[in-house]
Amino acid sequence: MTILNKTFDTQYNTAPFSKIKNEDFLPAFKIAIENAKNEIDTIVNNTELPTFKNTIEALDFSGEELDRISSIFFNLNSAETNDEIQKIAQKVSPILSEFSNDITLNEDLFKRVKAVYDSKSDLELTTEQETLLDKKYKSFSRNGANLPEDKKEKLRAIDKELSQLKLKFGEHILAETNKFEMLLTDENDLSGLPEGAKEAAKQLAESKGKDGWLITLDYPSYIPFMTYADNRELREKLSKAFGSKGFHNDDLDNQDIVLKIANLRFERAQLLGYNTHAHFVLEERMAETPEKVNAFLNELLDKAKPAAQEEFEKLEAFAKEIDNIDRLQKWDSAYYSEKLKQKLFDLDDEKLKPYFKLENVINGAFTVANKLFGLQFEEINTIDKYHEDVLTYKVTDSEGELVSIFYADFFPRSGKRNGAWMTSYKPQMIKNGVNERPHVSIVCNFTKPTKSKPSLLTFNEVTTLFHEFGHALHGMLANTTYPSLSGTSVYWDFVELPSQVLENWCYEEESLKLFATHYETGEVIPMELVEKIKASATFHEGMQTLRQLSFGMLDMSWHGIDPTAITNVKAHEVEAFGATKLYPDVEENCMSTAFAHIFQGGYSSGYYSYKWAEVLDADAFEYFKQEGIFNKTVANKFKIFVLSQGGTENPMTLYKKFRGQEPQPEALLRRAGLIK
Ligand SMILES: [Zn+2]
């Protein structure tokens, strides 16, 4: 027994960070897994007939101890890790996946789940219970539980091969990225680059024992060079190297792997009774079918293309004007866009930062949440934290009832991974009649204050804070019975709605004047600056939209069809890109062979969801704008039908209850100024 295997006897049952020792984790996991196994055995060995309560509900409430220990451990591994924790993670991860495989492959357990599922129509279930039953049943059936033994074996063989191929795909890209180096010895070749980027290139060369400046395909090196370097030939060289990863017909080539992955996914889907891999994936998405995704992408394409073409022509004319460039190429895109943007907006972060002192922005987010949802945030110093930088709050509603515990961890340090994210230490659920409130956290990497200067955020950091805070509200306001349906446990293409919609409050005068005040003078941010921020935020939105659509369409071209007839990766890709094309094709480049999102990560048949989420948030915010951005009625509908519902119902149904209609792509195009 370790401290982690007990109920935490603190006021809010919060994690006892300061009392946990690293050596507690492994034994705690082992005990918790044993306990979770016993809970599953109890369900399986129940002599009573399977019911919703003794099987489905019992399954969802099982493993609570294991979930809490996992969330504490893996959250620390992201936000405050060290060698020891990473070693434990390597040991624990396979044990955990073995445990979850044991559940999905447990045939006796599936028999009971199926018995309940098959009698669904006779049971008087609530909508939430029906959703839970469906979800539990599918967690087995989508892994082959209904298949005869020989097909089950086939499925497992496919899964094994797929995971090896995905691994190999990623290894090849990594090796290709690391292999390429562009060493520059003439300082003139770096003309245009900001000092910081030059410095970094110099240091990189030094670290490898070389003289000069080293440019690589890693984003922090590649992006500044493509954006600022005046030397067009070098940009071309770098761009072509970047675009040909996995496409050299050598031992790091990914063309065969791409074909194999697409075909195995198709075969797997067919085994399970689906038309294509996309049909399989989209069954558990708001978009539901490939037909709907394709229609969505095509509708956006039709409407955004004229604007994109106009932007492209203007950019080409601009390049002609300043550098006498006749035909704009891919390696010119970031460079001339940046130049044109500077010319049009002359907006730099240093001008904006004084209006966004971190404390003011936090208070701004809290004020927005208060005006919309009646939430109160009170800083408390009585609960344990994992690092002294972490801020802790008690969140209550307008009646003073506890809504959530909220952790906020803003500054970078070694042991914290990059980026920003929302997570939780304890889910919300209603167990034994008690509504257990969640413990929610956001983690960011913002500039730390110094002795003489407070933390002043860039505008991008401001929207990041609101974004993560939007996810946090989804977690905090959760009000469901079952933990696996609570808060942000929603379909993938719905989860970014609360976060993205909240970013909109960063662009409105009515909300900015509540918190965007100069940290020295107290002056409210000038509206002329706000207008510039807005205009620059949608700069080249048409071309950006086409780019995103091209990736979404490429993804669907591999996964929404029968791929068995495809033999040439490049030819297939050129065809898929046809409708979205602006720049001339580069013969020696291939996107698919390095498209890690869909061939290595989990985005297959899911790339459309970036645009989908934008449409949702633009459409939802348009409703707020119509009625007033702090309108209580709209806010309350958003809380009741979206934020508090988690995954208890199909997201389209929830969205329509909030909005009164399905989301309209026009809302996004209007916000971006692409249509009137
Ligand atoms: Zn997000």
Residue that the structure tokens 């704009």 belong to: 328
Q: How far from 567 is each of 164, 257, 556, 563, CA to CA, in Å?
A: 21, 12, 17, 9
- Between CA 40 and CA 36 the distance in angstroms is 6
Helix (H) or strand (E) holding 151: helix 149-179
- Residue environment code for 427-440, b if the CB has 16+ CB neighbours within 10 A, otherwise e: bbbeeeeeebbbbb
Q: If you measure from the C-alpha of residue 296 to the centroid of ligand 1, how many angstroms do you get, rounded to a whole number?
A: 21
Q: If you measure from the C-alpha of residue 9 to the centroid of ligand 1, how many angstroms do you get, rounded to a whole number?
A: 33
- Between CA 668 and CA 671 the distance in angstroms is 5
Is 316 annotated as catalytic? Answer: no
CB 420 within 8 A of CB 458: no
Structure tokens at 62: 């099982």
Q: Once rounded to an integer, what is the mean pLDDT over residues 626-653?
A: 98
Q: Once rounded to an integer, what is the mean pLDDT over residues 155-162?
A: 95
Q: If you measure from the C-alpha of residue 355 to the centroid of ligand 1, how many angstroms do you get, rounded to a whole number?
A: 24
Q: Once rounded to an integer, what is the mean pLDDT over residues 96-112?
A: 94
The pLDDT confidence band at residue 673, using thresholds 50, 70 and 90, is: confident
Q: Once rounded to an integer, what is the mean pLDDT over residues 272-300?
A: 97
Q: If you measure from the C-alpha of residue 551 to the centroid of ligand 1, how many angstroms do you get, rounded to a whole number?
A: 19
Residue 503 CB-half CA count within 13 A? 21
The pLDDT confidence band at residue 321, using thresholds 50, 70 and 90, is: very high
Q: What is the pLDDT of residue 644?
A: 98
pLDDT at 412 over 80: yes
Q: If you measure from the C-alpha of residue 412 to the centroid of ligand 1, how many angstroms do you get, rounded to a whole number?
A: 19
Q: If you measure from the C-alpha of residue 471 to the centroid of ligand 1, how many angstroms do you get, rounded to a whole number?
A: 7
Q: Once rounded to an integer, what is the mean pLDDT over residues 534-540?
A: 90
CB 393 within 8 A of CB 380: yes
pLDDT at 601 over 90: no
pTM of the model: 0.93
pLDDT (tens digit, 9 = 90+) per residue, 571-591?
A: 999 999 999 999 999 999 999
pLDDT (tens digit, 9 = 90+) per residue, 359-406?
A: 999 999 999 999 999 999 999 999 999 999 999 999 999 999 999 999
Q: If you measure from the C-alpha of residue 67 to the centroid of ligand 1, how many angstroms do you get, rounded to a whole number?
A: 22
Q: If you measure from the C-alpha of residue 467 to the centroid of ligand 1, how many angstroms do you get, rounded to a whole number?
A: 6
Q: If you measure from the C-alpha of residue 86 to the centroid of ligand 1, how many angstroms do you get, rounded to a whole number?
A: 25
| Pick from 321, 551, 587, 674: nearest CA to 313 | 321
Beta-sheet pairing, 439-443 with 402-409: parallel
The pLDDT confidence band at residue 111, using thresholds 50, 70 and 90, is: very high
Q: What is the pLDDT of residue 189?
A: 97
Question: Pick the catalytic residue: 468, 496, 503, 573?
Answer: 468
Which residues on adjacent β-strands are paired with residue 377? Answer: 395
